[in-house]
Structure 1
Amino acid sequence: MQKLHEERASAILVRRAADNDDEMVEVEAAVNAATSVFGQKSISAEMITAATSAAQAASAAVREQTNLAVKLDEFGRDINLQKRMDMTQRAERRKARFDSKRILSMEVDSSNQRIEGELSSDESDSESTAYQHHHKLLLQTADQIFGDAAEEYSQLSAVKERFEKWKKDYSSSYRDAYMALSVPAIFSPYVRLELLKWDPLHEDVDFFDMKWHSLLFDYGLLNDGSDFVSNDADANLVPELVEKVALPILHHEIVHCWDMLSTRETKNAVNATVLVTNYVPASSKALSELLVAICTRLADAVANLTVPTWSPHKLKVVPNAARVAAYRFGMSVCLMRNICLWKEILALPVLEKLVLDELLYGKVLPHVRSITANVHDAITRTERVIASLSGVWAGPNVTGELRYI
């Protein structure tokens, strides 16, 4: 199941990187060509015309280079055919995604209108269908794991009943056998089997809604309604199972599958982390490693993000430059908003370093400064930045020294 989740995440990241290469190579070449024409001189109409021609020529040259010619192998097969088909399909999907996201952004109230790039759904219908098919097959296979086991061992409820009967009838023997130390390992295969259905990045599910939790929540309690005695280690059974079984699953998803530019995945990751922290003590090494992994992935996302600082003249003369710059800015705002979702988990100094120092001051504000000549775009994008900081450094509920904006 972990491999299936990794493949789903990898498909999105690989396509996004390919889309980035397809667009940025052509646009950056055209921007460089326009820059060489503008130089340090004052801008004139003739210079704009010359820069436009240079940018168009550079774009055409890049397209010619990427338009792979027919190249036959010893069997007469075109080895570049698949590459050309992939590039064409990426361009078509990219255009379709841009069009759909533009429509979605226009449907939002104008006071909260999002910029292209903030909407982060990158999974195609075919990928989703393929994932659901393989996911269903894996779950069907998992249902057969205890198929040849005796009935008294194939169900968690039956195993639980046997151990509870032992504890009730022979409490001294149960205690002397240190069964409180053994039952987590005995129950963990059943818990792990049910947690195959847990997809913490794509659904918000509470452990209370799971069968294993409802069965083991009161494991070891006497039927007289009394609570656990102070030295009864069975009271810690569910938290220990969460730490040893559920937390590693979440850690793997965060490290290998989490798309930091997906608001849906980030919200679910935050909810899953909060869920785990409700059971696992702050002193847990595994929990500390999870938080480190979250910070590391967010820092990498900020470091790998590029927001163009092209001047208005370059945006005007270079084909698609304005759209690409707006899209990259939208991605930065999306990432900023997603990082702020961790405000209840990550310490404020950590958020300040990621959001304010590295992302806002390092990448977003230079972009906004570069387009100040276009007052409408500058104001619109500044509003989007402030909206993304709402609840942490901006908004009606932020007062005192935290109100930086």
Structure 2
Amino acid sequence: MHAGYNANAGRFSQIKDDLAASESAIQQLEGSSNDNADQYKFLQEMRGYVGDLLECFSEKVPAVLELEAAMHQLLRQRASRLVQRRQDDIKDESSEFASLSNKAVMAPNLDSFGRDRASYQEASRQRRIAEREARRTRRRQAREQKVEGAEHREGLSSDDEETSTDITSFNMERDRIIRDSRKVFEDVVEDFHSLDFIKSHFEVWRREYPDCYRDAYIGLCLPKLFNPLVRLQLIAWNPLEEPCPNFEYMLWFESLLFYGFEEDSALQKGDEDIGLLPAIVEKVILSKLSVLAEQAWDPLSCSQTARLVAFIHRLIEGYPTVLHGDNRYTQELLKTIVLRIRLTLDDDIFLPLYPKNVMENRNGCAYLFYQRQFWTCVKLLGNILQWDGILSYSCLKDLALDSTLNRYILSALQTTDIGEENVQKCQKVVECLPVQWFSGLKGQQTLPQLEPFCRYLTHLASSMHRGSVGGSDAERRTTKEQIRQIVRMLGRMNALDHIIAVAEEHGVKDIKLLLEVKS
């Protein structure tokens, strides 16, 4: 009997434990059921909200894209108008001097209305001449007021002055686009167009149901979802112009900067939301830069080039995960920049070749036109070399040295008389070359692409020395100083073999001191 009692007591104790465990399980399941019900309800609400949001975007995004395209077209038209005017000016001046030697009387060329084409073409040309000279006069007067005694070379300034009519027309269309951009979502409640309101829904999802949020890959979807709203705020943004607001101070950036951030929680490795802003910079900022570089940027404009280069350097420093050679959007941007530079080299660079008797008249229009075109080439060389550190080394050497220096500048130097002016021109060319190109060179030779230029400098020194023989003491001293200047130029390019040759031929004694100036 005692044994039976013990068995029943043990069974009773087991039943009590099982009952307690069952009650605990029931409570857990009831709580889980409530949580699942809440999560299900939330997801159903999010499903409805996202569906309505996408329906709204399907109606409004085409309007955003249309306004963005209208702004880009406006910028493209202005840039094309200035480039076309520059090309027309070059054609006018080059044809003017070519026609001086041809005064033959030709039969009139009549159009379908019986008008002499040459007459109204000449009238258009005379109008362009008057406008061109007026712009040059205004630029010269502006320089004289700003800097007294500063030497300026015609061709180094950018002829980007617009007529009051063009400025008014541009500003009116720009203001219209901006006004229309503010009206795109005026008939939509904030819940469907305000970044703060939209992101708040997803922040609740992330905070309350993080596993579900992560499993739905919301972090990968948000950049595309926010894309049209960011582009709408960037319609008037143009880093080629001043003033241009820093996009990191714009409302969209400040709104998304701390998305998903919680003070009491640490960042998780692999959290997709960390890459939200870099993804927007990649897909929106870089894409817009590519369009502006192709349609609005003028590689011959020093100010535009400096602004674009500085902005890309800032992006490289601030967004290294986006701005790198393996990124598709970065590759597209750099390819666009290179193609735009090549187009400028092919269409906007022209160096005329005139007989010696024409070039002897230094006050003549032909000589001044030649000088202006030469310095335009030097300006483009400097603008191209601003891309050092952004474009690849090989690409930059091809654009700057092969396609600009050797193709145009060096050819022009070789076809003109030797003189002090050539030394000054070469000095400007050397000043454009990045110093870091030569700091790591070993041996006595410079870059292969610079060998022709160095040989020209050696020839220039010899020619100037021969020209000074029999001259006055002052002329010989001037020539000697110019030869020393040539040696310094060669030293800056690490052309030690040419330095030795020039020094031995012309008795330059302080080579070591000149070489120390190389860096």
Q: Same fold (TM over 0.5)?
A: yes
Query: What residue is the counterpart of 2:127 in the other structure?
Result: 89
Indicate the larger mover: 350-359 or 188-197. Answer: 350-359
The question of whether the paired residues in 2 share the 8 Å contact of 1:309 and 1:366 is answered with no
The question of whether the paired residues in 2 share the 8 Å contact of 1:247 and 1:287 is answered with yes
Using CA pairs below 8 Å that are at least 6 residues apart, which structure has the higher relative contact order?
1
Quick one: distance in 2 between partners of 1:183 and 1:25? 58
Deviation at 1:239? Answer: 0.8
Which of residues 412, 420, 424 is equivalent to 1:380? 424
Query: What residue is the counterpart of 2:67 in the other structure?
Result: none
Quick one: distance in 1 between partners of 2:373 and 2:206? 61
Indicate the larger mover: 379-388 or 188-197. Answer: 379-388
Quick one: distance in 2 between partners of 1:324 and 1:371? 14
Query: What residue is the counterpart of 2:307 in the other structure?
Result: 268
Query: What residue is the counterpart of 1:348 in the other structure?
Result: 393
2:327 maps to 1:284: yes
**Segments of 4+ in structure 1 off by > 6 A?**
68-72, 77-82
Quick one: distance in 2 between partners of 1:19 and 1:358? 23
Which of residues 359, 362, 370 is equivalent to 2:407? 362
2:457 maps to 1:404: no
Deviation at 1:248? Answer: 1.1
Letter paired with 1:357: D
Quick one: distance in 1 between partners of 2:110 and 2:147? 46
The TM-score with structure 1 as length reference comes to 0.81
Which of residues 236, 251, 254 is equivalent to 2:290? 251
Deviation at 1:254? Answer: 1.1
Deviation at 1:196? Answer: 0.6
Deviation at 1:295? Answer: 1.7
Query: What residue is the counterpart of 1:324 in the other structure?
Result: 369
1:36-55 alpha-carbon deviations (Å, 9 max, x no partner): xxxxxxxxxxxxxxxxxxx3
1:196 alignment partner, SS class: coil
The question of whether the paired residues in 1 share the 8 Å contact of 2:351 and 2:408 is answered with yes
Quick one: distance in 2 between partners of 1:98 and 1:167? 62
Quick one: distance in 2 between partners of 1:196 and 1:179? 27
2:228 maps to 1:185: no
1:64-98 alpha-carbon deviations (Å, 9 max, x no partner): 98xx9997849xx9999975654333112211222
Letter paired with 2:390: I
Which of residues 380, 387, 401 is equivalent to 1:335? 380
Query: What residue is the counterpart of 2:350 in the other structure?
Result: 306
The question of whether the paired residues in 2 share the 8 Å contact of 1:311 and 1:371 is answered with no
1:301 alignment partner, SS class: helix
Which of residues 243, 246, 265 is equivalent to 1:206? 246
CA shift in 2, pair 1:158/1:83, >3 Å: farther
Quick one: distance in 1 between partners of 2:277 and 2:209? 23
Output the aligned Cα RMSD.
Answer: 3.0
CA shift in 2, pair 1:99/1:390, >3 Å: farther
Quick one: distance in 2 between partners of 1:175 and 1:383? 61
The TM-score with structure 2 as length reference comes to 0.64
Quick one: distance in 2 between partners of 1:350 and 1:289? 15
Query: What residue is the counterpart of 2:138 in the other structure?
Result: 100
Quick one: distance in 1 between partners of 2:122 and 2:358? 29
Quick one: distance in 2 between partners of 1:385 and 1:145? 51
Query: What residue is the counterpart of 1:133 in the other structure?
Result: 172
Q: Please, which runs of 5 or more residues in structure 2 have no aligned partner?
A: 1-70, 447-491, 495-519
2:82 maps to 1:26: no
The question of whether the paired residues in 2 share the 8 Å contact of 1:307 and 1:329 is answered with yes
Deviation at 1:227? Answer: 4.3
Quick one: distance in 1 between partners of 2:313 and 2:422? 37
2:259 maps to 1:219: yes
Larger radius of gyration: 2
CA shift in 2, pair 1:185/1:26, >3 Å: same
Letter paired with 2:80: S
Query: What residue is the counterpart of 2:37 in the other structure?
Result: none
Quick one: distance in 1 between partners of 2:138 and 2:405? 28
Deviation at 1:391? Answer: 4.9
1:197 alignment partner, SS class: coil
Which of residues 67, 72, 76 is equivalent to 1:6? 76
1:143 alignment partner, SS class: helix
Letter paired with 1:250: L
- 1:51-130 aligned at under 5 Å gives the runs 55=101, 58=102, 73=113, 86-103=124-141, 108=147, 113-126=151-164, 127-130=166-169
Work out the percentage of aligned pairs sharing the same amino acid. Answer: 29
Indicate the larger mover: 144-153 or 172-181. Answer: 172-181
Which of residues 165, 183, 187 is equivalent to 1:148? 187
The question of whether the paired residues in 2 share the 8 Å contact of 1:27 and 1:321 is answered with yes
Deviation at 1:300? Answer: 2.9
Deviation at 1:176? Answer: 2.7
Deviation at 1:252? Answer: 0.9
CA shift in 2, pair 1:356/1:281, >3 Å: closer
2:276 alignment partner, SS class: helix
Q: Please, which runs of 5 or more residues in structure 1 have no aligned partner?
A: 31-54
Deviation at 1:243? Answer: 1.1
The question of whether the paired residues in 1 share the 8 Å contact of 2:94 and 2:352 is answered with no
Deviation at 1:158? Answer: 1.3
Deviation at 1:293? Answer: 1.7
CA shift in 2, pair 1:246/1:120, >3 Å: same
Quick one: distance in 2 between partners of 1:272 and 1:3? 22
Aligned residues between the structures: 366
The question of whether the paired residues in 2 share the 8 Å contact of 1:307 and 1:325 is answered with yes
The question of whether the paired residues in 2 share the 8 Å contact of 1:219 and 1:234 is answered with yes
